Amino acid sequence: MTFMTKILGSAAALALSAGAALADPALIYDLGGKFDKSFNEAAFNGAQKWAEETGGSYRDIELQSEAQREQALRRFAEAGFNPVVTTGFSMSSPIAAVAADYPDTKFVTIDGFVDPGEHPNVLSILFSEHQGSYLVGIMAAQASESNTVGFVGGMDIPLIRKFACGYAQGVKAVNPDAKVIANMTGTTPAAWNDPVKGSELAKAQISQGADVIFAAAGGTGLGVLQTAADEDILSIGVDSNQNYLHPGEVLTSMLKRVDVAVYDSMTAGADLETGVKVLDLGAEGVGYALDEHNADLVSAEMKAAVDAAREQIIAGELEVHDYTSDDSCPALSF
Amino acid sequence: MDLDTLIQVLDSTIRLATPLLLACLAGLFSERAGIFDIGLEGKMLIAAFFSAAVAFSTGSVWIGVLAGIAASLAMSAIHGLASITFRGNQLISGVALNFLASGLTVLIAQSWFSQGGRTPSLPDGARFAEITLPFAESLRDVPIFGPIYADLISGHSALVYIGFAMVPLTWWVLFRTRFGLRLRAVGEAPEAVDTAGISVTGLRFAAVGICGVLCGLAGAYLATGLQAGFVREMTAGRGYIALAALIFAKWRPWYALGACLLFGFLQAIALRYQNIDLGAFVVPVQVMDALPYILTVVILAGFVGKAIPPRAGGEPYVKER
């Protein structure tokens, strides 16, 4: 009997250690693709940083279609990966559908929202994009000579409107008479990957007088930045630092520290605290990029104004309206 | 809307209509010869990738264009082999080619450039420059005609002019040459062509080949004319809009020009004005995006004339039963 217990015990120990060895984190990229030089690439960079610092390993997958979302989540959860980190707002409903079936697996949705009351094993990480966009809006208004600035969004969803709204507020804070031209590329996920349309939108905005254009549009944004560089006006990148794409032609980039979110989630591992986490300016979740590629474009005055606004927002003296809170924007009509 | 705005919108129309026009004429040759081709999208995509990749590697945009045409021709050859030689279903072959192009471009791009399925940004020599037509600057001050000539007609890349020149050329080839007569005949009554002792297979392969060349130009224009590099799925459904334009144009070259310009114009309007305020009600931008498809359905339903496809279209030719 003792022999039997021993065998069973060691088998159980083996099974446990096998499980532990497999408890690596997993990362699921959204349809934009791993190397979109923007949102998903930031996630990849965070995961790489974690892997290099800890020597750990992780698995990742690039989704190719909507149908794969739930499948990928289940595959990773079945294989014992923990936590399963996902990027993109579209992952919220697949996670809500899957989470209850794997109560021991922690799911992280970056940009998505899953009700923590219903699914205690899900962490929703949200960013205060409106605050970061407000900052780059201030810079855009100061850099603009024509008092007209542009915004090109990707797919027309509340999240992108949140960017546009924060940006418009920042612009109007500097110059109440400034004109903000806002366009969305489309209403389907194809809008994230249509640089040709991005270019045409940028050209249309330039012909209406815009001389700084903020692109929050994934792969489409690359077309916007390209056209802006070709036509010698300034552009503003998004999510990752995109200043290096056209040195001296990109005013700044609105940073969304998806890399930090991924890094933190992977570092916490299976002990991840679930719930809802909002990464705002104070938590360095959003910000603007300053490096050698745009140092000449950002004047001391501009930097002072942005940093002052940043302090005020963090201190709570300045409130930037969040479009998603009431689906309306005081500074811009869609 | 003042003259400047109008010119800007029309300028945008020309840029957006050119890839549609080239793809539409490509489909026209193929379908007139009785080979339905819904693989226009895939051919454009693979041409876009190879033109950008080779232009980047060699530093010459024209070598890039040739590579794009070659890649598109290879796809045409597969389509021809499947649907002409082996008499397979043309629609299924076309769909398969679209999937193939979508996956293949990203795969090759990833292993070639390791930038996640895209090519690096093309430097100046490796993309099409805008051509300024003679006297464009000196004529600019002439009222009305000046700005139209300087801004609208001048200042596009070479492929735009090639695309527009293709329209009369296509008309001439199809309706004024012996080859064109036979090509149209092979789409209407291949048995008659065969009885006359002319190779149905040969003619159909020629048509599919021309289709490949034109799709190659369309793809190359997207990646090296309008953009500076390839991004995955960058055709974004333009091949399907070209097909819609082809039906809208009732398989005729001059009508195709009109249809593509109309669809390009609708897109340009949608890009310029997010929502159009007509006073009584607001037209949302989505309506403009959907209009090409709605118009095509209206045409197909027979409200405005009748769209009759080539009679032998979609059917593989079997000599003896």
Domain assignment of residue A18, yes or no: yes
Chain A nearest-CA residue for B19: A196
How many whole angstroms separate alpha carbon B232 and alpha carbon B49? 8
Q: Both A198 and A309 in a single domain?
A: yes
Burial class (CB within 10 angstroms; exposed 0-12, middle 13-18, buried 19+) of A38: buried
Chain A nearest-CA residue for B4: A207
Q: What does pLDDT average to over chain B?
A: 89
- Nearest-by-Cβ selection for A36 from B116, B121, B285: B116
- Asked if residues A82 and A105 have their Cβ atoms less than 8 Å apart, the reply is yes
How many whole angstroms separate alpha carbon A192 and alpha carbon A36? 10
Give me the number of domains chain A comprises.
Answer: 2
B250 in contact with A, Cβ within 8 Å: no
pLDDT (0 to 100) of residue A17:
44
**Mean pLDDT to the nearest integer, A267-296:** 90
- Asked if residues B21 and B164 have their Cβ atoms less than 8 Å apart, the reply is yes
Band of pLDDT at residue A4, cut at 50, 70 and 90: low
Q: Both A215 and A321 in a single domain?
A: yes
Domain assignment of residue B267, yes or no: no
How many whole angstroms separate alpha carbon B168 and alpha carbon A246? 41
Q: Both A185 and A221 in a single domain?
A: yes
Q: Which tokens hold the place of A208? A: 């209406």
DSSP track, B245-304: HHHHTTT-HHHHHHHHHHHHHHHHHHHH-SSEE-SSSEE-HHHHHHHHHHHHHHHHTTSS
Taking one residue from A and the other from B, the number of pairs with CB-CB distance under 8 angstroms is 73
Domain assignment of residue B228, yes or no: yes
The owner of tokens 């389907």 is: A188
pLDDT (0 to 100) of residue A18:
45
**Mean pLDDT to the nearest integer, A30-35:** 80
For residue A5, is pLDDT > 70?
A: no
**Mean pLDDT to the nearest integer, A14-40:** 72
The owner of tokens 């021809």 is: B80
What is the ipTM metric for this complex?
A: 0.85
The boundaries of the domain holding residue A68 are 2-128+260-279
pLDDT (0 to 100) of residue A250:
94
A111 Ramachandran zone, left/alpha/beta (phi>0; psi -120 to 50): left
B286 in contact with A, Cβ within 8 Å: yes
Q: Both A111 and A22 in a single domain?
A: yes
B140 in contact with A, Cβ within 8 Å: no
Domain assignment of residue A133, yes or no: yes
Model pTM? 0.85
The owner of tokens 């999208």 is: B41
How many whole angstroms separate alpha carbon B264 and alpha carbon B267? 5
**Mean pLDDT to the nearest integer, A208-232:** 92
Q: Which tokens hold the place of B161? A: 């002019």
pLDDT (0 to 100) of residue B321:
61
With helix as H, strand as E and coil as C, how does B14-83 read? HHHHHHHHHHHHHHHHHHHCCCCCCCHHHHHHHHHHHHHHHHHHHCCHHHHHHHHHHHHHHHHHHHHHHH
Domain assignment of residue B295, yes or no: no
Q: Which residues neighbour A316 within 8 Å (Cβ) at sequence distance 6 or greater?
A: none
- In chain A, % of residues over pLDDT 90: 66
- Asked if residues A228 and A210 have their Cβ atoms less than 8 Å apart, the reply is no
Contacts of B264 in chain A (CB under 8 A): none
Question: Would you call B272 and A186 a contact, using CB atoms and an 8 Å cutoff?
Answer: no
pLDDT digits (tens, 9 = 90+) for B195-221: 999 999 999 999 999 999 999 999 999
Q: Where are the alpha helices (DSSP H) in chain A?
A: 2-22, 39-54, 68-78, 92-98, 129-143, 158-174, 195-207, 219-230, 258-268, 300-315, 323-326
Closest CA to B272 of A167, A210, A219, A253: A210
Question: Would you call A200 and B15 a contact, using CB atoms and an 8 Å cutoff?
Answer: yes
Q: Both A160 and A44 in a single domain?
A: no
- Other Cβ atoms closer than 10 A to A279: 21
B188 in contact with A, Cβ within 8 Å: no
- Asked if residues A166 and A320 have their Cβ atoms less than 8 Å apart, the reply is yes
Regarding predicted confidence, which is higher, B298 or A72? A72
Domain assignment of residue A289, yes or no: yes
Domain assignment of residue A251, yes or no: yes
Which residues, given as ranges, of chain B have pLDDT below 50? Answer: none
Domain assignment of residue A182, yes or no: yes
Domain assignment of residue A332, yes or no: no
What's the number of CA atoms in the CB half-sphere (13 Å) around residue B245?
33
Lowest mean pLDDT among A1-10, A63-72, A191-200, B204-213: A1-10
Q: Both A204 and A58 in a single domain?
A: no
Regarding predicted confidence, which is higher, B215 or A240? B215
Q: Both A23 and A162 in a single domain?
A: no
Q: Which tokens hold the place of B281? A: 């009600």
Closest CA to A84 of A48, A122, A44: A122
Chain A nearest-CA residue for B9: A204
- In chain B, % of residues over pLDDT 90: 59
Sign of the torsion formed by the C-alpha atoms of A293, A294, A296 and A300 = negative
- Nearest-by-Cβ selection for A194 from B236, B274, B285: B236
B34 in contact with A, Cβ within 8 Å: no
pLDDT digits (tens, 9 = 90+) for B151-163: 888 889 999 999 9
Q: Which residues neighbour A10 within 8 Å (Cβ) at sequence distance 6 or greater?
A: none
Task: Tell me the C-alpha to C-alpha distance, in Å, between residue B231 and each of A32, A130, A195, A222, B129.
Answer: 11, 28, 8, 9, 20
Q: Both A235 and A151 in a single domain?
A: yes
How many whole angstroms separate alpha carbon A158 and alpha carbon B87? 49
Q: Which tokens hold the place of A277? A: 């986490």
Domain assignment of residue B56, yes or no: yes
- Asked if residues A294 and A252 have their Cβ atoms less than 8 Å apart, the reply is yes
The boundaries of the domain holding residue B103 are 3-132+143-236
Domain assignment of residue B219, yes or no: yes
Q: In this structure, what DSSP letter does residue B131 have?
A: B
Q: Both A168 and A291 in a single domain?
A: yes
pLDDT digits (tens, 9 = 90+) for A133-189: 999 999 999 999 999 999 999 988 899 999 999 999 999 999 999 999 999 998 887
Give 3-state DSSP helix, strand, coil % of chain B, rounded to 5: 70, 0, 30
Q: DSSP 3-state assignment of A62?
A: strand
CATH number at residue A10: 3.40.50.2300
Report the helix count and the strand count for chain A, using DSSP H and E. Answer: 11, 12
Domain assignment of residue B293, yes or no: no
Q: Both A205 and A265 in a single domain?
A: no
pLDDT digits (tens, 9 = 90+) for A101-130: 999 999 999 998 999 889 999 999 999 999
Domain assignment of residue B279, yes or no: no
Compute the nearest-CA separation of A65 from chain B (Å): 12
Q: Both A20 and A65 in a single domain?
A: yes
**Mean pLDDT to the nearest integer, A260-283:** 90
Give me the number of domains chain B comprises.
Answer: 1
